[in-house]
A and B are shown apart, each in its own frame.
Chain A
């Protein structure tokens, strides 16, 4: 597995502002993922972030709202732009590892509240 950290762990933000979430891994990984977990809900994949290429976004998520950077094999950021109360969620990053390359390990999450 991997040790994954996220910053900040939680934040309270005003509507219309932006927040950048950082995800750091203790080993080099090819695939990193960003998820959103709305209150009381399951996880929804926002995008896949590969180093050296543009992130791939899932249906319903756009780059202007959720820009992602992946500058190297151990780090990624997700920005939540022009926030509204509907963006209040837990945002989690994950990395793909394992012998088959099919197992994802998750960071502790960032709890975002938008007022």
Chain B
């Protein structure tokens, strides 16, 4: 079946640091891949998506590239801010549903 493995947290960074959250997946076929973000006390927001190999999703300074050869979809941001403190979830779409990773808690300190 489909599954997503995410880098374990928590991750603590200083402002303006570089952020990478690793995500790898196992799936049949060609799933779409997603990153969702959950800010404290809120629901999930779609951060970015990619629908086919070599696609790059980007939003709010975050980027992730769909790498079929390494079955990965790592999330990156070049310079984080305190407002990026949140839980980040990697997910894939397949079998008519979303499969989520465990989530990575990111804390950015001023």
* CB pair B34 A103 closer than 8 Å: yes
Question: Given the complex, which residues of B lie within 8 Å of A41, measured CB to CB?
Answer: 102-103
A108: contacting residue among B36, B42, B49, B98, CB under 8 A:
B42
* CB pair B44 A92 closer than 8 Å: yes
Per-residue interface assignment for chain B, residues 96 to 107, with 1 indicating a CB less than 8 Å from any chain A CB and 0 otherwise: 111011110000
* CB pair B44 A103 closer than 8 Å: no
Interface size, chain A (Cβ < 8 Å): 19
Per-residue interface assignment for chain B, residues 19 to 45, with 1 indicating a CB less than 8 Å from any chain A CB and 0 otherwise: 000000000000010101000001111
Q: How far is the CA of A41 from the CA of B6 in the complex (A)?
A: 13
* CB pair A43 B43 closer than 8 Å: no
What is the chain A residue whose CB lies nearest that of B101?
A: A42
A42: contacting residue among B42, B43, B51, B89, CB under 8 A:
B89
Question: Given the complex, which residues of B lie within 8 Å of A42, measured CB to CB?
Answer: 89, 100-103
Question: Given the complex, which residues of A lie within 8 Å of B103, measured CB to CB?
Answer: 41-42
* CB pair B93 A102 closer than 8 Å: yes
- Interface residue A106 (Cβ < 8 Å from any Cβ of B): yes
Least Cβ–Cβ distance between B1 and chain A, in angstroms: 11
* CB pair B101 A33 closer than 8 Å: no
Q: How far is the CA of A107 from the CA of B42 in the complex (A)?
A: 9
Question: Given the complex, which residues of B lie within 8 Å of A1, measured CB to CB?
Answer: 46
* CB pair B44 A106 closer than 8 Å: yes
* CB pair A48 B51 closer than 8 Å: no
Question: Given the complex, which residues of B lie within 8 Å of A103, measured CB to CB?
Answer: 32, 34, 46, 49, 93
Residues of A near any B CB (own CB < 8 A):
1, 33, 41-43, 45, 48, 90, 92, 94, 100, 102-109
